[in-house]
C-alpha cells in the first residue's frame, strides 16, 4: 500500500514539475506567445525597410522624385515661379 502511494506521489510531483517547473508547459506557452508577437514586429520592420530601400533608390536615380521632395518638404520653387501665400 505504501509503495502505491509513493508512486502516486512521484507521478503527481513529476506532473507538477512538467506543467509548472522551469521550462515547463506554462513557460512553453508564454514563450510561444512571445515568439508570435516578435514575428509580427519583425514582419512590420521588414516591410518598413523595403519601403525605405525603395525611397533610397528613388532619391538616387529619379530626378522628378527629388524635385517633388524638395518642393514638398523644403518648400523650394523653380526659378521664375511665383509663390502666392494666402492669409486666413
* Per-residue pLDDT reduced to its tens digit, 26-50: 788 889 999 999 999 999 999 999 9
Provide the whole-model pTM: 0.59
Q: Where are the alpha helices (DSSP H) in 21-62?
A: 25-61
Vertex 20: Cα angle to 29 and 14 (nearest 5):
125
Residues in Cβ contact with 59 at an 8 Å cutoff, skipping those fewer than 6 apart? 65, 66, 69
pLDDT at 16 > cutoff 90: no
Contact (Cβ atoms closer than 8 angstroms) between residue 13 and residue 6: no
Contact (Cβ atoms closer than 8 angstroms) between residue 19 and residue 25: yes
Given pLDDT bands bounded at 50, 70 and 90, which one contains residue 75?
A: confident
Amino acid at each position: 500500500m505504501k509503495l502505491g502511494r509513493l508512486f502516486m506521489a512521484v507521478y503527481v510531483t513529476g506532473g507538477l514539475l512538467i506543467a509548472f517547473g522551469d521550462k515547463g508547459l506554462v513557460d512553453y506557452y508564454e514563450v510561444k506567445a512571445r515568439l508570435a508577437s516578435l514575428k509580427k514586429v519583425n514582419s512590420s520592420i521588414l516591410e518598413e525597410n523595403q519601403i525605405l530601400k525603395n525611397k533610397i533608390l528613388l532619391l538616387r536615380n529619379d530626378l522628378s522624385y527629388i524635385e517633388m521632395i524638395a518642393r514638398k518638404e523644403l518648400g523650394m520653387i523653380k526659378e521664375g515661379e511665383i509663390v502666392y501665400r494666402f492669409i486666413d
